[in-house]
Structure 1
């Protein structure tokens, strides 16, 4: 086998999605000097690492972009709901949508975890507030230093 045929064979192996055992058998079956075979595998690993790094960066970029749009939608939803509430109507029909504000379960806002009574703290690896218990007691009207309920009102778009 000449150099071009070997390179083509290695390239063909790279392009296949083989399970680890088949890949190992295929690489072992290549008739190459050991150092040349190992050098090709090392180059392949480097290419794979570059691709992995590229896709990891792209994934982070896409995640950041998605977060930006989600935040923008949050503010747009607040505007939309406030505009409908200010109109005094329960429902607004536009040419393309039916807009109905509705109340969702209030959100628990914890201003400062350190100020919360110990009963409302969940301890594991990370100290965090027990929002379920906070919600239940705040909903009953109990005043808790360091937390309050925030109305969670959004508009259903049909």
Structure 2
């Protein structure tokens, strides 16, 4: 397989979203190249994936920030619109594209200081969280103990530098 065919084979695999781990492994095994060339291409692919993950994570945060900004802006605009219609003395306003009807919703409770509330208005709740002690489990399993409901699973990977 020449360099162009090899590059094309890896690009084709990278573009496919339907590959489960078994099919991916079989497809990589089918590529006719030396182990080192395959490993280098796979490491490059992993680097690309990691860079894309970083970009997507950053983009998600930007979009969440933009969403929050738009929600806050809409709240401010609704407040302004309601106040403006109320100040004009209208119960309903009509524009070319909208019918605007200010209305009363259920009042919101705002707690400014929890510590100043009388005890009759404070709900005390104790939660018990049951969580496995993974360090103790690891130590016991590593020492050869049999623990029902737990086992050690090998965790191997490769560092790409």
TM (normalized to structure 1)? Answer: 0.71
The reply on whether 1:94 has 2:95 as its aligned counterpart is yes
Q: Which residue of 2 is the match for residue 38 of structure 1?
A: 39
Unmatched runs of 5 consecutive residues or more in structure 2: 129-161
Aligned runs of 1:1-158 on 2, under 5 Å? 1-17=1-17, 18-116=19-117, 117=119, 119-124=122-127
How far residue 3 of structure 1 moved from its aligned partner, in angstroms, is 1.7
CA RMSD of aligned residues (A): 1.9
Greater fraction of residues in strand: 1
Unmatched runs of 5 consecutive residues or more in structure 1: 126-158
Q: In structure 2, the residue corresponding to 1:9 is in which secondary structure?
A: helix
Q: How many residues align?
A: 125
How far residue 121 of structure 1 moved from its aligned partner, in angstroms, is 4.5
- Whose relative contact order is higher, 1 or 2, with alpha carbons under 8 Å and at least 6 apart? 1
TM (normalized to structure 2)? Answer: 0.70
- Cα gap change, 1:82/1:123 in structure 2, threshold over 3 Å: closer, same or farther? farther
Supply the distance in 2 between the matched residues of 1:106 and 1:122 (Cα, whole angstroms). 26
